[in-house]
Structure 1
Amino acid sequence: MKKKTLYRCASCGFESIKWLGKCPTCSQWNTLEEISIELKNAGTRARQTSKKPIKKLFEIVSNKNDRIITGINEFDRVMGGGIVKDSISIITARPGAGKSTLLLQISDAVAQRGYKVIYASGEESDSQIKNRADRILKKIHESIWVLQETSLDNVLDAVEEIDPDIVIIDSIQTFTMESSLPARAGSPTQTMECANALLQIAKNEKRPRVVIIVGQMTKSDELAGLRALEHLVDTVLIIEDDNDEELRVLVSSKNRFGGIENGFFQMCERGIISIDNPSEFFMTKREEGEIVSGSALTVIKEGTRSIITEIESLVSKSFTPYPTRIGETLGKDKLNTLISILEQRGGISLYDKNVIIKTTGGMKIREQGINLAVIMSIVSSVKQQGIESNIAFIGDVGLTGELKKVPSLESRVKELERMGFKKVYVPKGSFLKENKLKKIEIIELKTLIDVIKHIYNN
């Protein structure tokens, strides 16, 4: 066989017949590595694939209910009601966010339901995985196999031997295949070759399996590697964390078997705990009649779910020419905009006041529907008069001071009714149809100043 020398970029996979100092595709310097490939004669090549019969679409049997339910409610929700049995998913997060912990808990949960699991790690030793299991699991199930390996060929051999239902690879960037062209672990060539081999394992018609891959994250908080890796898998999951915060948000940025949903977890000594009632978690529990200034409640949309969230504010006298504006879970520009609206349209002066905003539980604010609640929490803090804990605010506030409608208002109000709220303030004209909600009073007002006067009777 003849050999040919090529130069491949270790960053993006670009190939050239000559060495270049700068990769023309990704613009990285000194990333082209010399590789040697064997050229086979065309006449001796064997056909690698067998011809599959063509099927009519209406004749294909759909496996909509063929899922594995883990019992971890928030995870099952994000996956669309459980893990599809012939699916391949990838999960990524920053180091220490809890990827391996969550996957170990998933392994235990499905093993208890009679499924066999192979957990292959290229980053941790067997003893490290066992130590984590001893800490977070009550009892380690006998149907979980652990393989400390960086050769995917050996993992595939173990799959044939054990015949598991679920294969977990932690992480894809640490594995290599001997059958692929010479390249280091983590290179685009090795990563895609390994991913394609795992895809064949998952999509085998005679023996479908669940494959879950851990993907490393870059410094810019993106999945490392080629974009083709995201296109190849069925589901892309991201664990969002905020450094010291206990809250973990599992986000599905892609899901072929369900909608785009978010799941909420709490990191603790026992692992990652599913927050099954987020509305209860993201607001402070107070005694009936207990009123605290600087607090206002609203409802946000996360995927298809409505979640009650508490906005807290602290307003204090500033002794410097430039008052402090801090939004721990709210962008500074957005906070300054809302403060300007309150000053100009609400008649409350804050030019010499420090304003700090945060949410209970560390929920990040991503939408406009909470703006009325943010402003009312500031008003409450300025006046040092609390708002009753059974009152909520839903709506955007325009630069004119007028209240603006928000999407999915009815489902948000239904969540308030479910949690026992008595009143909710919304933009005027939000409910065009007859209101069928009888247990909660809906107060529709036109402007911000109307809401302030209605709450404080002035």
Structure 2
Amino acid sequence: MAKIKTSYVCKECGYKTPKWMGKCPECNNWNTFEETIEDTKSPSSPSALKSRKPVRKLSEVTSSKSDRIVTSISEFDRVMGGGIVKDSITIITARPGAGKSTLLLQVADRIATKGYKVIYASGEESDSQIKNRADRILDKIHDNIWVMQETSMDNVSAAVNDIDPDLLIIDSIQTFTMESAMPARAGSPTQTMECANELLRIAKDDKRQRAVIIVGQMTKADELAGLRSLEHLVDTVLIIEADSDEELRGLVSSKNRFGSTGESGFFQMTEKGMESIDNPSEYFMTKRDAGEVVSGSTLSVIKEGSRAIITEVESLVSKSFTPYPTRIGETLGKDKLNTLISILEERGGINLYDKNVIIKTIGGMRIKEQSINLAVIMSIVSSVKQQGIPSDVAFIADVGLTGELKKVPSLESRVKELARMGFRKVYVAKDSFPKGSGIKGIEISVMKTLNDVIRDVYKS
């Protein structure tokens, strides 16, 4: 006979204890323990052995890596590794209002137009709310999409058996429960994992493979809500990065068993939904006429996943009338900005002690890597001198505290992106390229120090 055991599980980190505790010793959060009831039935019981699957040789297993559903939403397919694998389970999370439901409704539409069946089950929105969104963002609602306003995973499983969909979308996993699970509220660790395991069974069924996409709620700490076990269970974890006041949306894979982890895609939120930005290099730089020069503007190349993207940096330097000048980096950390300003003052000989300095990037691109540091500094130099730098010149290098330029990884792919976009010249650090090597169509100017770059740009 099955034994019933009560335990307490931290909903933040998954730490388990037989007794309730006010503070979790693992993650140090307060009041995060929830009571769970476990069925301790022995796994060696006849009922457990009855469902055992046969052991197969690895060489005889058919790989599904190339068996994908291509949505034709280029940035989504890129992040997924080329499309949705047919027997995969994916979870997508973001802050409220970032566009999770909108993107998935667009994915459902694209897949339905290719002849695939889709079930969209929502525990947060009614059928009419989903229909209103569809009317707003879709040109035509396809007959291959079914919607459910449901919070019972048992009913969803029954609908899967009736309709036989190719893709199942669950929005969101924290709102669903299973009657077969031990009593617990929706969103509790027990119910979330029971529902997730049922979805895993649906996706990995040998007789009928299906793709499953789950929406996961995000905590105040910008992390996927629930146990870490949920992330381990799924094949792909997607995160939509967005600021509430910006149109730009970044889709990042923090885990992908069928593609590159860390791959990024970019979208623009519009009235018609999430529009794929197929050429980010063009999006993140200002289009100017030939020969037009603007002070304070420089260009560099960053890496987002496997892709090189040209990014424009803008700066504004103005006279300060207070003892403490303003330092603002809209897309750059304040500490990093202050470090680069100190390097410019001490190693570049330009005083900014009485100047306000404001930095931003076009399109709201976050500056996360060191390759753009030289471009940031040269943007400030351009603002101070009030002399623009030609828009077909770029800067790719880190700058050390000594004022020396430091080489950055994946430089060849970055320079090739500049050449593709028609740039004439790029400044890089010494020893970045072997002697005698280069890339056709662009001049590579190798410099040792920051002062060397300033002198060469302004011929002084």
Give the match for residue 207 of structure 2. 206
SS at match of 2:47: coil
Give the match for residue 102 of structure 2. 101
Q: State how far apart, in whole Å, the 1-side matches of 2:366 and 2:19 are.
A: 49
Q: State how far apart, in whole Å, the 2-side matches of 1:38 and 1:441 are.
A: 69
Q: Identify which of 293, 303, 308 aligns with 1:291.
A: 293
SS at match of 1:46: helix
Could you give the per-residue CA deviations for residues 356-415 of structure 1, whole angstroms, max 9, x where no partner exists? 000000000010000000000000000000000110010011111111100011110000
Give the match for residue 74 of structure 1. 75
Q: State how far apart, in whole Å, the 2-side matches of 1:301 and 1:373 are.
A: 15
Q: Is the 8 A contact 1:370 1:393 kept in 2?
A: yes
TM-score (norm 1): 0.95
| Residue 65 (structure 1) shift | 1.6
Q: Identify which of 384, 387, 401 aligns with 1:385.
A: 387
SS at match of 2:114: coil
| Residue 115 (structure 1) shift | 0.6
1:273-292 mapped onto 2 (5 Å cutoff): 273-292=275-294
Q: State how far apart, in whole Å, the 2-side matches of 1:74 and 1:320 are.
A: 46
1:276-355 mapped onto 2 (5 Å cutoff): 276-355=278-357
| Residue 47 (structure 1) shift | 3.0
The 1:368/1:178 distance shift into structure 2, 3 A limit, reads: same
Q: For residue 328 of structure 1, what is the amino acid of its counterpart?
A: E
Q: Identify which of 424, 434, 441 aligns with 2:426.
A: 424
Q: State how far apart, in whole Å, the 1-side matches of 2:374 and 2:40 are.
A: 67
Q: Is the 8 A contact 1:238 1:252 kept in 2?
A: yes
TM-score (norm 2): 0.95
Query: Percent identical across equivalent pairs?
Result: 74
Q: For residue 230 of structure 2, what is the amino acid of its counterpart?
A: L
| Residue 41 (structure 1) shift | 9.9
| Residue 54 (structure 1) shift | 2.2
Match status 1:247 vs 2:248? yes
SS at match of 1:253: strand
- Greater displacement, 18-27 / 257-266: 18-27
Give the match for residue 217 of structure 2. 216
Give the match for residue 259 of structure 1. 260
- Greater displacement, 43-52 / 151-160: 43-52
Give the match for residue 449 of structure 1. 451
1:59-70 mapped onto 2 (5 Å cutoff): 59-70=60-71
The 1:49/1:67 distance shift into structure 2, 3 A limit, reads: farther
| Residue 438 (structure 1) shift | 2.2
Q: Is the 8 A contact 2:64 2:86 kept in 1?
A: no
Q: For residue 236 of structure 2, what is the amino acid of its counterpart?
A: T
Q: State how far apart, in whole Å, the 2-side matches of 1:53 and 1:41 are.
A: 20
Give the match for residue 406 of structure 2. 404
| Residue 419 (structure 1) shift | 0.3
- Greater displacement, 269-278 / 62-71: 62-71
| Residue 61 (structure 1) shift | 2.6
| Residue 437 (structure 1) shift | 1.8
1:104-123 mapped onto 2 (5 Å cutoff): 104-123=105-124
Q: State how far apart, in whole Å, the 1-side matches of 2:221 and 2:208 are.
A: 38
Could you give the per-residue CA deviations for residues 110-157 of structure 1, whole angstroms, max 9, x where no partner exists? 111111000000000001000000000000111000000000000000
Give the match for residue 154 of structure 1. 155
Q: Is the 8 A contact 2:5 2:39 kept in 1?
A: no
| Residue 53 (structure 1) shift | 2.7
Could you give the per-residue CA deviations for residues 265-300 of structure 1, whole angstroms, max 9, x where no partner exists? 001111010000000000001111111000000000
Give the match for residue 268 of structure 1. 270
SS at match of 2:419: helix
Give the match for residue 8 of structure 1. 8
Q: For residue 96 of structure 1, what is the amino acid of its counterpart?
A: G
Q: For residue 119 of structure 2, what is the amino acid of its counterpart?
A: I
SS at match of 2:110: helix
SS at match of 1:265: strand
Gaps of 5+ in 1: none
Q: Is the 8 A contact 2:116 2:166 kept in 1?
A: yes
- Greater displacement, 271-280 / 420-429: 420-429
| Residue 242 (structure 1) shift | 1.4
The 1:410/1:28 distance shift into structure 2, 3 A limit, reads: closer
| Residue 35 (structure 1) shift | 6.5
| Residue 182 (structure 1) shift | 0.5
| Residue 11 (structure 1) shift | 2.7
Q: For residue 8 of structure 2, what is the amino acid of its counterpart?
A: R
Q: State how far apart, in whole Å, the 2-side matches of 1:416 and 1:34 are.
A: 57
Give the match for residue 57 of structure 2. 56
Q: For residue 407 of structure 1, what is the amino acid of its counterpart?
A: P
Give the match for residue 137 of structure 2. 136
Q: State how far apart, in whole Å, the 2-side matches of 1:371 and 1:317 are.
A: 23
Q: Is the 8 A contact 2:91 2:216 kept in 1?
A: yes
Q: For residue 376 of structure 1, what is the amino acid of its counterpart?
A: M
Q: Is the 8 A contact 2:5 2:40 kept in 1?
A: no
Q: Is the 8 A contact 2:236 2:257 kept in 1?
A: yes
Q: Is the 8 A contact 2:347 2:450 kept in 1?
A: yes
Q: State how far apart, in whole Å, the 1-side matches of 2:141 and 2:189 are.
A: 36
Gaps of 5+ in 2: none
- Greater displacement, 201-210 / 154-163: 201-210
The 1:71/1:39 distance shift into structure 2, 3 A limit, reads: closer
- Greater displacement, 60-69 / 246-255: 60-69
Q: State how far apart, in whole Å, the 2-side matches of 1:433 and 1:276 are.
A: 35
| Residue 200 (structure 1) shift | 0.8
Q: Is the 8 A contact 2:43 2:49 kept in 1?
A: no
Q: For residue 415 of structure 2, what is the amino acid of its counterpart?
A: V
- Number of residue equivalences: 458
Could you give the per-residue CA deviations for residues 72-111 of structure 1, whole angstroms, max 9, x where no partner exists? 0000000011111110000000000000000000000111
Q: Is the 8 A contact 1:5 1:34 kept in 2?
A: no
Q: Is the 8 A contact 2:36 2:190 kept in 1?
A: no
Q: Is the 8 A contact 1:7 1:32 kept in 2?
A: no
Q: For residue 404 of structure 1, what is the amino acid of its counterpart?
A: K
SS at match of 2:48: coil
SS at match of 1:97: coil
Q: State how far apart, in whole Å, the 1-side matches of 2:318 and 2:132 are.
A: 48
Q: For residue 154 of structure 1, what is the amino acid of its counterpart?
A: N
Q: State how far apart, in whole Å, the 1-side matches of 2:438 and 2:31 are.
A: 67
Q: Is the 8 A contact 2:10 2:16 kept in 1?
A: no
Q: Is the 8 A contact 1:6 1:15 kept in 2?
A: no
| Residue 64 (structure 1) shift | 2.9
